[in-house]
């Protein structure tokens, strides 16, 4: 086999692999669970607007966000549920569950619904 044919086959193989990676990436659920991502930021804004906490009260470094669920509801559109724990400087924890739509390109495909957990009755 000549070197030209080997190079062409190698290039075709690389292009095919790249296309497969793109397809696989589109099938992956979006990663929107970082503490500086849409759901966490909007949850904080809504808590602040409701008078539940403030910039001065919150210890942002202790915020934890966990994705609980991600369901594909259409072509590259997902419903995502996150559990977020905000910790105030006093040590008080504010726990919320959020729901919003996301895609592989954008975590902010919808507004964020925020549900404040006011009391945990069993662990």
Residue 88 is predicted with a pLDDT of 97
Q: What angle do CA 23, 39, 51 make, to 5 degrees?
A: 175
What is the C-alpha separation between 112 and 5, in angstroms, rounded? 54
pLDDT (tens digit, 9 = 90+) per residue, 35-71?
A: 899 999 999 999 999 999 999 999 999 999 999 999 9
Give 14's strand partners.
none
**pLDDT for the residue numbered 101:** 97
Q: Per DSSP, what are the bridge partners of residue 114?
A: 98
pLDDT band at 8 (very low <50, low <70, confident <90, very high): low
Residue 22's pLDDT is 46
d(CA 101, CA 108): 7
What is the number of other CB atoms lying within 10 angstroms of the CB of residue 52?
A: 16
Please report which confidence band the pLDDT of residue 24 belongs to, taking 50, 70 and 90 as the band edges.
Answer: very low
User: Residue 55: enclosing H or E segment and its boundaries?
Assistant: none
């Amino acid at each position: 086999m000549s070197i030209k044919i080997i190079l062409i086959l190698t290039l075709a193989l690389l292009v095919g692999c790249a296309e497969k990676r793109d397809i696989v990436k589109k099938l992956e659920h979006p990663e929107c669970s970082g503490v500086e991502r849409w759901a966490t930021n909007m949850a904080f804004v809504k808590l602040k607007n409701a008078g539940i906490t403030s910039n001065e009260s919150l210890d942002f470094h202790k915020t934890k966000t966990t994705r609980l669920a991600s369901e594909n509801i259409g072509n590259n559109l997902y419903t995502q549920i996150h559990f977020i724990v905000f910790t105030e400087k006093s040590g008080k924890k504010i726990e919320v569950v959020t729901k919003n739509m996301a895609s592989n390109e954008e975590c902010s495909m919808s507004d964020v619904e925020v549900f404040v957990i006011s009391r945990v009755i069993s662990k």
